[in-house]
Amino acid sequence: MDYTYRERHGEAIYRFKNGMRPSDFFHRNGRLELLGDAIGIRLRDVIGVDNMMWGSDYPHSESTFPQSRKILTEILAGVPDDEQAKIAAGNTARVYNFDVAGLTASPISRIVSEAAPS
């Protein structure tokens, strides 16, 4: 897309503001779900780690279930821990505004902490 945008002005007539390219727009707004996609993981420098979210596609027939953990471990082998955390859960939590602390705390501990006097 960047090539066409840059080299073929007659075909790519819309121009982004501030010198942005189509790839900049994608990196700002696009997200990709990876489903056992080792090639996608290898291309994370092009895609952008912050744009990648792993999914199992459960309960569909093409799902990685019941081998999701095994497949995720295999495709993330050799990927730095901080990038693994983003791809496996962090980016999804950010995009959908999940309260990660609330999701990881048990219901009892939340009730106790909310009821405790300040």
Q: What is the pLDDT of residues 93-104, one digit of tens each?
A: 999 998 887 776
Residue 84: what pLDDT? 93
Name 32's bridge partners.
Answer: 52
Phi, psi at residue 6, to the nearest 5°?
A: -80, -40
Residue 99: what pLDDT? 84
Is pLDDT at 49 greater than 60 in this prediction? Answer: yes
Amino acid (one-letter) located at 21: R
pLDDT confidence band for 42 (50 / 70 / 90): very high
Distance CA 72, CA 69 (A): 5
Q: Which of 66, 5, 1 is nearest to 36 (CA)?
A: 66
> Per the confidence metrics, is the pTM higher than 0.75?
no
Residue 109: what pLDDT? 53
